[in-house]
């Protein structure tokens, strides 16, 4: 029963490079969420995806950030031309399909700590 | 719009005492769920307890219970008989069923420190 798998655990990028963060949800989960956490702060919602669809990207910066959850393979959060302010922990979470149920907790990965130098 | 507020940035509690972590929320959705997560220093997010807006009884999970006061829009976490391993950040979170596409939003957290 593998949980949410995120890799890499730590990622160091120089300003201007691209960062690609991967997330494999719990087997059978069709919903993926990405959150960003700055030190000593809460988790900020970025984007919510289902297979091949972006459902809500209201928390995603309009530029440089993109996310996908293809039919096959992990979900990818991509940050182009990284800047120092992108340094944070990025958490992926998954849940099964909800319907009208609201009691499914999110299952979180251990996060990717991105450091931009 | 949904909103979660945790007004206690940090708390110190003596081991074996009970502790209450405050959480208030705002939503116009008639159906919603409330969650508490623990984040130890290692960084992972651990789900603790859930309360549905239509649940008649307060949720309990072992030493964790949720003091749900719907009219006051509060969902405080109570930890009984605190242990040193309870030292961590605690986040309150909410999911609306009909609006906001079922995303979960989090409060700013409370750092709980247990003194031996």
B78 CB near a chain A CB, below 8 Å?
no
Q: Is residue B7 within 8 angstroms of chain A, CB to CB?
A: no
Backbone angles phi, psi at B62, to 5 degrees: 60, -125
Phi, psi of B21 (to 5 degrees): -105, 125
Specify whether the CB–CB gap between B36 and B22 falls below 8 A: no
Q: Of the candidates A89, A106, A110, which has its C-beta nearest B104's C-beta?
A: A106
Q: Do B52 and A100 touch (CB under 8 A)?
A: no
Any chain B CB within 8 A of the CB of A102?
Answer: yes
* pLDDT value of position B100: 59
Between chains, do A102 and B97 touch, taking CB under 8 Å as contact?
Answer: yes
The pair phi, psi for residue B74, each rounded to 5°, is -130, 150
Beta bridge partners of B76: B67
Instruction: Please check whether residue A103 touches B, CB under 8 A.
Output: yes
Contact: A108, B100; criterion CB under 8 Å: no
pLDDT tens digit at each of 116 positions of chain B: 679 999 999 999 999 999 999 999 999 888 889 999 999 999 999 999 999 999 889 999 999 999 999 999 999 999 999 999 999 999 999 988 776 566 789 999 999 999 99
pLDDT reading at A14 higher than 90: yes
* Cα gap A86→A69, rounded to integer Å: 21
Contact status, residue A45 vs residue A33, Cβ threshold 8 Å: yes
């Amino acid at each position: 029963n593998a949980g949410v798998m995120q890799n890499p655990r730590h990622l160091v990028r120089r300003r201007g490079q691209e960062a690609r963060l991967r997330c494999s949800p719990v087997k059978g989960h069709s919903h993926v969420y990405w959150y960003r956490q700055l030190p000593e702060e809460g988790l900020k919602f970025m984007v919510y995806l289902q297979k091949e669809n972006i459902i809500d990207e209201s928390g995603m910066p309009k530029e440089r950030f993109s996310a996908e959850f293809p039919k096959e393979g992990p979900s990818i959060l991509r940050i182009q031309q990284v800047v120092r302010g992108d340094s944070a922990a990025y958490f992926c979470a998954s849940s099964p399909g909800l319907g009208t149920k609201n009691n499914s907790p999110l299952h979180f990965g251990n996060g990717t700590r991105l450091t931009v130098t | 719009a949904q909103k979660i507020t945790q007004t206690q940035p940090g708390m110190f509690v003596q081991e074996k005492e009970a502790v209450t972590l405050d959480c208030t929320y705002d939503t116009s959705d008639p159906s919603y769920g409330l969650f508490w997560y623990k984040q130890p220093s290692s960084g992972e997010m651990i789900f603790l307890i859930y309360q549905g807006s239509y649940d008649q009884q307060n949720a309990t999970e072992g030493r964790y219970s949720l003091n749900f006061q719907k009219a006051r829009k509060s969902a405080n976490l109570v930890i009984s008989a605190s242990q040193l391993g309870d030292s961590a950040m605690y986040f309150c979170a909410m999911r609306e069923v009909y609006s906001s596409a079922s995303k979960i939003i989090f409060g700013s957290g409370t750092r709980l420190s247990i003194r031996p």
